[in-house]
Structure 1
Amino acid sequence: MTASTQSEAERAALRELDMDLLAEVERKVLWLSTAIIDAANSPSRKDPDGLKIGGHQASSASMTTIMTALWFTQLTSEDRVSVKPHASPVLHAINYLLGELTPEQLGTLRAFHGLQSYPSRSKDPDTVDYSTGSVGIGATAPIWGAIARRYAADTASVPRSAGRQYSLVGDAELDEGAVWEAVLDPSVTDLGELVWIVDFNRQSLDRVVPNISATRLQAMFAAAGWQVITLKYGRFLTALFDAPGGHHLKDRIDGMSNPEYQRLLRCSPAELRERLPGEGPGAGDIRALLDGLDDTQVTRVIRGLAGHDIPSLVDAFDRIDDSRPTVIFAYTIKGNGLPNAGHPQNHSNLLKPDQLALVAQQLGEDVTEPWRGFAEGSDAALLCTRTAERLRRRPVAVAEPPTVPADFGREIKGHSSTQQALGRLLLDLTRLAPAAARRVVTVAPDVASSTNLGGWVNKAGVWSSTAKRDWFADDAETILHWDERPTGQHVELGIAEVNLVSLLGELGATWSRWGEPLLPIGTLYDPFVTRALEPWSFGVYGGGQSILIGTPSGVTLAAEGGAHQSIITPSIGIEQPGVVSFEPAFVQDFEWCMLDALGRLGRAGGSSSYFRLSSRVLDQSMAAVPVDPAARERRRRQVVAGGYALRRAAAPAVTLVGMGAVLPEVLVAADRLGELGIPADVVCVTSADRLYRAVRARTGHGSRDAGAGDPAIVDQLFPADRATPMVTILDGHPHTLAFLAAVHGVRSINLGVTEFGQTGTLQELYRLHGIGPDAQVGAALDLVDPSPRH
């Protein structure tokens, strides 16, 4: 894969750009980004509740040179860029110069429906390739975007890209474990289109980072197979190092600690002449060297880093090796060009009016006319016009997603689990809906076989950018065949849930990025959903639509012990925006819900889904699926809407509401209550999420998105004339279903899991946590007969 559609002539022309002209653009970008944040905090924008609006002028300033060089000399329309979150004003400033924003919009940073605090692909009005803001997640997004683009090119109609995927990363962001989980994944070393540019300013939010080591970080990237380019000193300093005594100056700067270096940034020229030479053997030579420089040049000695030297950056871009990922460490100064440059607490510090006026004077700007662009017809204006034309993208025509059937129309018999049903559904999809099946892509972090994807993997193959030999293909005892080829539909990653869901987000965004919808499904052990939640949530925020399947789940895992028993994931499913969660008990319920989830992917107004599945094998006849076609369709609609009445008593005294793997115990409890003369209705919940939305919609407070609840389901499950005391039961936190008692204001007892589990048999664990038949019968008796029992 080549890295750019530019011809050599075009590249040569960009390299020959007048550096003074680029410096003029850089100064304009610095001013605009600084003024954008100042406007957000102006008296006219003061929050009536006194809350700080904020912004990051220093963080933006450290990226200004890098982004100017990248946009105006390097990027093509095929390239995509993930911008450091706190540098969003720089992105908006550049997009303004390219004609994408109006002057009025520049004053709306952090305003209601204005420019977002951090780059947002779904909410900002100008071009944003990746939503960023969750530290570490935006940095790695282009990795998964590159894989998603390659996959879509191999399996859909997306043209193979010639563009690069850039990440503009703050050095403190490299503290995030998500970064190294991604960098070290075996699939990354072949992605030659990846280019990371590290803004190496050696400051974090609170301080100068004392022991950050570029050498150590560079070695870690190199060990992962990346090309490492280091940009430390710009042309001025490099030339100075070659002067007599210059090697002592270089040794002195190289050897000083980060805090000492940052302190020198705050010094006047006179102070620099005194403090910079130090006390080493070369101090005299350094002092003599400084004596030959004027005050402006002395200041450049300590500030002349390559990350603020456009020619050095352009040279680095020309050295990118497109056969492997590249990381460029660009040494910068946080707040470069601003009065607070290098100050250890400048992260969210805002310039005072007199400081802003000084910056305007130095940059040739006017605080009373902050959004003034370049004069029409000027060289700078023409450069902006040419750059905008070069970066202009063709509108994306979004293809219609494939039709997914609502019902396979078959009778499900025997004993099975919802986890086993996943693999069978994918295989059935290849027969019954081949167009939809061809769009399915499954992803797993080394748990494909243990989450029942084995049959699908054998059928669909494993995706690889090149065909690879399966050395176990002729081994008669091999059950899982690892057939790696460009047309494969399963992507296997290392054991890192963050990588899994990050890739899901990008696979789920191909419909809007490239016009070709995919149907991405990721499987992981349910206890690890919480580990993966932040990046998956951020992918949903950025427009990615996917299905996440957590299986197996709950204390129903019994013998696995407390470490593998998820408790809070059912309520997470209710609370996660942009996602519909399901926890079906029976295979038929799972099939209907899964087909509904697949049908909401890859489209405007679509949504993601989360399934909590179980490895517990159940007798499927307990589902009592109606045979009559009309009754069956009614049941299907109810299942998808959130639940159905599994049993109706003639005159119920109590209602048992169960969800997921505990339904056999709910039915046993209902039988026992009937023997005690306490008839019970049994309601099977398939989606607490959709029922909660339905309850809210019933009062006029529900959302109207693709996962919105159907108010009618509430009255179908809980008609007013059957309102009785309620016992809710699930293998998860009891508050998940507690809201249902409020439908008719009945008394309720909510059973579930609130403590870490133990190893043991299934019934031992159910007794321990009070969700078995005994606990259900006891709770029902307490509700029906509240008098003390002895």
Structure 2
Amino acid sequence: MSHLKTIEQRLLWLSHWMIHHANHIRPKADAIKIGGHQASSASMVSIMTALYFSAMRVEDRVAVKPHAAPIFHAMQYLMGHLPLEKLQNFRGFHGVQSYPSRTKDVDDVDFSTGSVGLGVAITSFASIVQDYIAAKTWGQELPMGRMVALVGDAELDEGNIYECLQEGWKHDLRNTWWIIDYNRQSLDGIVREGLFERIEKIFQAFSWQVIRIKYGALQHAAFAEPGGAALRAWIDACPNQLYAALTFQGGAVWRQHLLDDLGDQGEVSALIARRSDAELAELMENLGGNCVQTMAETFAAIDHDRPTCFLAYSIKGWGTPIAGHKDNHGGLMTKAQMAEWQAHMGVPEGQEWEPFATVADPKALQDFLSKAPFFAKGPRQFTDAALQVPQITAGSDRDISTQMGFGKILDDLAKSDSDLAARIVTTSPDVTGTTNLGPWVNCRKLFARTVQADTFQDQKIPSTAKWEFTPEGQHIELGIAEMNLFLLLGALGLSHALFGKRLIPIGTVYDPFVARGLDALNYACYQDARFVIVGTPSGVTLAPEGGAHQSIAAPLIGMAQDGLAAFEPAFVDELAVIMAWAFDYLQRDGTGDPDERTWLRDETGGAVYLRLSTNPIEQPGQRADQAFRQGAIDGGYWLRPPGPNCDVVIAYQGVIAETRRDVGVLAVTSADRLNAGWTAAQRARARGNPAAISHIEHLLGALPAHCTLLTVIDGHPATLAWLGGVRGHRTIPLGVEHFGQTGTIGDLYRHFGIDAASMVERIASLTAGARPAGH
């Protein structure tokens, strides 16, 4: 236990010195405060020491509370996994990040955190993913780890946490620990009295074990003394704000207040009198979450796999001069405070960065660290071999929607025996049938750890849906919560790195409700999770459903979201080409320069967004030429090439497709990829490469200067309006800018001016005497 206490004190110092150095010593380039959350780190140091150096095994995974990042980085430095220059550049360019990041930090981060609440919730979905893999014949050797979240008590205000609890209960969640840093202080104030009782009841309602860790070893010893019961009762009754204020004021004030409340009781007064001011302050601040011994013993006592919530009482800023102060969340120790605290911590000047600066026996401590099970095998990031993508073809139907085509492609894969099909896992928030996943699910079944029969089948009631739950199932059904969908996709899309088993996750959602889970989508992409999200049905094309179900801004989300390649094909053969490419793209992890053909960094891979429609349109027939296939992947191709003196070009994305003999027609399958390649090529030219030409620049390069672009999309017109800036062509963007309403597709297309007649009218007005003189 002495080694744990030594580690705790080393981490406390190193984390706070790192923050102090960044704010008060490192030269500043501007006047903006760097920050770093010293107090929030201090409240977690005992918990994290006990967890990492006593309780956890190498197969366990942790989501670190965002504001405890300095403790995490200090730990990696102490273990020799992080170079000093990274620590010295905390919150600087290419230094360790403000909050733990899988993609930006070089330490061994399991889950990125930062958008509070999401890092907590993803651990429960990661546990479900672990169970999913372990249930398969190809994953049964997987060692079962615990998915651990270090939780700030203020994070419990986030609604996605409670959505996650409900979904975990449905899926028989296990092997999940949430350790709540119950310091009762947030950014703006003190947590409401009695919150712990509500927290406990909520977790117990969803079958979690709740362990309240209120007192440390010193307090337990004091409670056993004569008068200890009265002291314990006073602690239990003390309001959060008063406890924090007394902590900040120190031992003498503690003594006066306790004597005022408990004096003249003989045994209690003697208990207080036996301790100096410093010892009394240490006793009163020895809450369970600030006692490394208590935390280690509590973790060691868990002998089951039930989901467990540890409610660890702590002091915000524990062990530092700013402990308990209501402003300490973003506050920093002053230079004077740090100098005084450095002397208190026993760190000699000039040895501030020395890992073992205050350690009496460095060799013994190093030997202890080398045997810590969690760190025994070094970095714990895995990989898995890429899966070969089988041939994917489109049906021959003359009239078919892209959503129906998506279902047919998955149905064909479900009936195959390819390795890729075995690793596909689908999920949907209660819209499985209406997003055309039904045939896939009927063939590949739903996942549950124990078999659950379909009562309708057993009762021989006719139904198109065969809802059989089994460990072999490959569809994870969710309730109506889009945040849960994207958190699950994030966990599934990290399976190769977390568990060494690659999955091909596909999620479906009604396109307008992508926005309901946008924070979790962004979070999944920030972690570089690999998945396909299918937004369908989409746009005002979903006419009878009304404005509440008609997406407008979704194409702009697809363009703006980093780590996500967005497509909106019009034809099913385009979709087939894109899906085959996407299955390969999900598995890429290369590095290097951009592809000079498109200026896209495709070798790095990423997630994919498909915006599909329920509107069946006439298909163009068999197209097997490479130019079409490559164009569909790169983002666009000429459906009808323009003539040498073309006056008008229609550029469309999605099912808004209109062909006329006298105009060129540009099929845009991905405004996202066209735009990304264009901006990348511009950057390359600015850096001295005049030969950098993007795909869209090649496509529009042959158009005469007088040509007008008429862009059209069932979505916000800004999605394609930028095309006019590529070569300076006049552009008239058509699309949807306002909420729709119930009606027929024809009604709504006419209302928004994106129907064929409206396009013809605009083209006629453009071409009637519009050509400049000399042409």
Distance 1:32 1:737 in 2: 51
Letter in 1 for 2:494: A
Which digits, 9 at most, give the CA deviation of each residue in 1:203-236, with x for residues without a partner?
A: 1112222346101111100101100000011122
Unmatched 5+ stretches in structure 2: 590-603, 771-775
Instruction: For residue 656 of structure 2, give the secondary structure of its aligned residue in structure 1.
Output: helix
Q: Deviations over 1:611-643 (max 9, x none)?
A: 1111112222xx3544xx4xx332111111112
Question: What residue number does 1:449 align with?
Answer: 433
1:485-509 CA deviation, whole Å, 9 max, x = no partner?
2221111122111111111112111
Partner of 1:464: 448
- CA separation of 1:571/1:701 partners in 2, compared to 1, >3 Å: closer, same or farther? farther
Task: Give the letter aligned to residue 707 of structure 2.
Answer: T
Aligned positions of 1:33-182 closer than 5 A = 33-46=15-28, 48-155=29-136, 157-158=138-139, 159-182=141-164
Aligned to 1:499: 484
Q: Shift of residue 514 of structure 1?
A: 3.1
In structure 2, relative to structure 1, the CA distance for the partners of 1:199 and 1:358 (3 Å cut) is same
Aligned to 1:185: 167
Aligned to 1:3: none
- 1:388 Cα deviation from its structure 2 partner: 6.7
Q: CA deviation at 1:327?
A: 0.5
**How far apart, in 2, do the equivalents of 1:189 and 1:300 lie?**
44
Whether the 8 Å CA contact 1:231–1:328 is kept in 2: the answer is yes
Q: 2:572 aligns with which of 583, 587, 592?
A: 587
Cα distance change, pair 347–188 in 1 and its aligned pair in 2 (3 A): farther
Separation in 2, partners of 1:416, 1:284: 88
* Residue pairs, 1:642-661, within 5 angstroms: 642-648=635-641, 651-661=645-655
Q: Which amino acid aligns with 2:365?
A: A
Structure-2 residue corresponding to 1:434: 418
| Alignment-derived partner of residue 367 in structure 2 | 382
| Separation of aligned partners in 2, 1:348 and 1:504 | 33
SS in 2 for 1:652: coil
Q: Does 2:705 correspond to 1:730?
A: no
Query: 1:685-704 alignment to 2 at 5 Å?
Result: 685-701=668-684
Q: Which residue of 1 aligns with 2:313?
A: 331
Q: For residues 467 and 86 of structure 2, what CA distance do their matches in structure 1 show?
A: 52
For 1:676-755, list aligned pairs within 5 A: 679-701=662-684, 711-716=694-699, 719-721=702-704, 724-755=707-738
From the superposition, tell whether residues 212 and 128 of structure 1 become closer, same or farther in structure 2 (CA, over 3 Å): farther
8 A contact 1:748–1:783 mirrored in 2: no
Q: Which residue of 2 aligns with 1:608?
A: 607
Q: Contact conserved, 2:56 with 2:374, CA < 8 A, in 1? A: no
Native 8 Å contact 1:412 1:587 kept in 2: no
* Alpha-carbon distance, 1:273 to partner: 2.6
Partners of 2:433 and 2:514 lie apart in 1 by 18
* Distance across 2 between alignment mates of 1:331 and 1:727: 63
Aligned residues: 746
Please state how far the C-alpha of 1:521 moved relative to its aligned partner: 0.5
* Aligned partner letter, 2:445: G
Separation of aligned partners in 2, 1:196 and 1:69: 14
Match of 1:352 among 316, 319, 334: 334
Alignment-derived partner of residue 324 in structure 2:
342
Distance 1:608 1:156 in 2: 26
What TM-score comes out, normalization by structure 2 length?
0.91
Kindly provide the amino acid, as one letter, of the partner of residue 87 in structure 2.
Answer: L
- Kindly tell me: are residues 719 and 404 of structure 1, through their superposed partners in 2, closer, same or farther at Cα, counting changes over 3 Å? farther
Q: CA separation in 2, counterparts of 1:28 and 1:411?
A: 64
Residue in structure 1 matched with residue 343 of structure 2 by the alignment:
361
3-state SS of 1:370 partner? coil
| 374-383 or 590-599, larger mean C-alpha shift | 374-383
For residue 554 of structure 2, what is the aligned residue in structure 1?
569
Q: Taking structure 1 as reference, are residues 286 and 768 closer, same or farther at Cα in structure 2, changes over 3 Å only?
A: farther
Greater Cα shift, 692-701 or 497-506? 692-701
Distance apart, 1:255 and its partner CA: 1.9
Quote the residue 2:596 is aligned against: none
The code of the aligned residue for 1:658 comes to Y
In the superposition, the TM-score normalised over structure 1's length comes to 0.89
Bigger mean CA deviation after superposition, 549-558 or 765-774: 765-774
Q: How many Å apart are 1:585 and its aligned residue? A: 1.2
Q: CA distance change for structure 1 residues 786 and 214 in 2, over 3 Å: closer, same or farther? A: farther
**Deviation digits for residues 5-38 of structure 1 (CA, Å, limit 9, x no counterpart):** xxxxxxxxxxxxxx33321221111101111111
Q: CA deviation at 1:181?
A: 0.9
Whether the 8 Å contact between 1:574 and 1:689 is mirrored in structure 2 is yes
In structure 1, the partner of 2:199 is 217
* Structure 1 residue 527: Cα displacement: 0.9
Contact 1:518–1:602, Cα closer than 8 Å, also in 2: no
Q: Summarize the Cα distance change of 1:205–1:745 in structure 2 as closer, same or farther, 3 Å threshold.
A: same
Letter in 2 for 1:229: I
**Equivalent position SS for 1:646:** strand
1:425 maps to 2:405:
no
Distance 1:565 1:189, change over 3 A: closer
CA contact (8 A) 1:98 1:387 kept: no
> Of 510, 513, 531, which aligns to 2:516?
531
SS in structure 1 of the partner of residue 254 of structure 2? helix
Q: C-alpha displacement at 1:547, in angstroms?
A: 0.6
Residue 701 to residue 723, structure 1, CA distance change in 2 (3 Å):
farther
SS state at 2:585 partner: coil
Q: Is the 8 A contact 2:382 2:498 kept in 1?
A: no
Change in CA separation of 1:281 and 1:492 when aligned onto 2, cut-off 3 Å: farther
Measured in 2, the distance between the counterparts of 1:396 and 1:138 equals 18
Distance 1:434 1:373 in 2: 51
Counterpart of 1:603 in structure 2: which amino acid? R
What RMSD, in angstroms, separates the aligned Cα atoms of the two structures?
2.6
What secondary structure sits across from 1:566 in the alignment? coil
- Structure-2 separation of matches of 1:225 and 1:580: 39
Look up the equivalent residue of 1:542 and give its one-letter code. Q
Report deviation, 1:740.
Answer: 0.8
Amino acid at match of 1:642: G
Task: Measure, in 2, the Cα distance between the counterparts of 1:103 and 1:652.
Answer: 62
Is the 1:643–1:717 Cα contact (8 Å) retained in structure 2?
no
Counterpart of 1:267?
249
SS in 2 for 1:609: strand
Give the Cα–Cα distance (whole angstroms) in 1 for the partners of residues 154 and 386 of structure 2: 40
1:59 to partner: Cα distance: 0.7
SS at match of 1:45: coil
Residues 511, 94 of structure 1: alpha-carbon distance in 2 compared, 3 angstrom cutoff: same
Question: Which range is displaced more, 237-246 or 539-548?
Answer: 237-246
Query: Does residue 512 of structure 2 align to residue 512 of structure 1?
Result: no
User: Hey, what's the Cα distance between the residues in 2 that align with 1:594 and 1:135?
Assistant: 33
Paired residues of 1:189 and 1:325 also in contact (CA < 8 A):
no
1:770 aligns with 2:753: yes
Q: Which stretches in structure 1 are left out of the alignment for 5+ residues?
A: 1-18
Report if aligned partners of 2:390, 2:418 keep a CA contact under 8 Å in 1: no
Q: Is the 8 A contact 2:129 2:491 kept in 1?
A: yes
Aligned 8 A contact 1:646 1:683 in 2: yes
Moved more, 154-163 or 571-580: 154-163
Q: Structure 2 vs 1, CA of residues 766 and 718 (structure 1 numbering), >3 Å: closer, same or farther? A: farther
Letter in 1 for 2:746: Q
Q: Displacement, 1:182?
A: 0.8
Q: Which residue of 1 aligns with 2:389?
A: 404
The whole-number CA distance in structure 2 between the counterparts of 1:267 and 1:418 is 67
